Structure 1
């Protein structure tokens, strides 16, 4: 009996050990599947994610050289005017930099994706286009810049803005340094076309022709009001500058 009992004890231990191995293997398999699911899940966009810093001085020059011109488009995207601006740019083979407001990006992510798909670059233009940014606290500036970065990146499907343009040019040393640390070169302009005042397409064209010697970065708008004059002016300016020997590029980074 003792001998038979010992055999049963050995058999019981073997079965127990086998069951233990199966439980461990099953647990490891479940854990591995869960880990794989977590790793493969889309990652939330975080403004604190490590990025390469860029120069913090305000950019004006063009990467297209001495005869380069940078077309920059502010305040959108707008469902009426942005598609029309994109059409004119496409017709003329011109790439531009779109300075996007965070709330507009959230409202119209399809247009942000369209801007990216057509080869244009994105610029962070703050969350709410507050032109008093330079008189606000650092905490407020940080929120406006980093929240807009997140909103634009999410709207674009993961493409980050490459520049930061302060609303109304209201830069501060802090906002420039913060933006640059996040890989967004502060972006200025040389020619303010005043198209937001709706002076007429003739006046917008004349401003560009008169002030282009001041520098290559031109400021237009695709939101904030009726932009029919801007669309018409771009339709005339883009081929005209090409005929004069200018080429189109992006602001330096």
Structure 2
């Protein structure tokens, strides 16, 4: 996340509060043949939905898995085609291609165009914002960055830091792609069980945006 944009609610939504008690679980960097199906199992059993910020080139490797995500009622958001640091792009054309090619890939494989975007590493600049606005994307952040699930800090850490940061309307960040995501799976199982018992609806980011009364 760039310091200049970190507090702009129109660019980087992390809490989308509405009248209903709801949160959005999001999963980055898939699809992954080991961990994405486990996430689907968790949400199928809980009767909830999630949003997957997939990498375009991973979708081309596992198109049937990407289709399955959508068929089960989940949402896929744009997370670029190769997961670069966008601010390090060699040109505006390269910058745009990462977003455009991912958009085309998601649309071609699933039949549904994405409506939200998350920058890899939360790294973006004014050029990124301008390009995403061309697609009418909402740029989405995360309300639990201290969970650090991508660093595999332990199940208890992921669970505890997420619970500490959670409020009604939180967008929660996890990863189902790259490396060993077994800690994330276990923490998500615990969180999904507990939050559903507490009466939270588990919805997609787009559904949460539709419920919004305030976005921060």
- Category of TM-score, reference length = shorter chain: 0.7 to 0.9
Quick check: which has more Rg, 1 or 2? 1
SS of residue matched to 1:218: strand
Which residue in the other structure is 1:67 paired with?
21
Aligned partners of 2:27 and 2:174 also within 8 Å: yes
TM-score, length of structure 2 as denominator length: 0.84
1:249 Cα shift?
2.4
* Aligned pairs for 1:1-253 within 5 A: 57-62=11-16, 65=19, 67-130=21-84, 132-136=85-89, 137-156=91-110, 158-192=111-145, 193-213=147-167, 216-251=170-205, 252=209
State the 1:245 CA deviation.
3.3
Tell me the equivalent position of 1:6: none
Further displaced range: 95-104 or 192-201: 192-201
Instruction: Give the conservation status (yes or no) of the 8 Å contact 1:191–1:215.
Output: no
Highest RCO, 1 vs 2 (Cα 8 Å, sep ≥ 6): 2
Structure with the bigger percentage of helix: 1
**Cα separation, 2, equivalents of 1:220 and 1:143:** 25
3-state SS, counterpart of residue 98 of structure 1: strand
Q: Which runs of 5+ in 1 are unaligned?
A: 1-54
The 1-side partners of 2:18 and 2:70 are apart by 20
Shift of 1:73: 0.5
Unaligned runs of 5+ in 2: 1-8, 211-216
What is the deviation of 1:58? Answer: 2.7
Number of aligned positions between the proteins:
197
Q: Map Cα deviations across residues 81-100 of structure 1 (whole Å, 9 max, x no partner).
A: 11111111111111011001
Q: CA RMSD in A?
A: 2.1
Counterparts in 2 of 1:117 and 1:63: CA distance versus 1, 3 Å: farther
Give me the whole-angstrom Cα distance separating, in 2, the residues matched to 1:196 and 1:226: 9
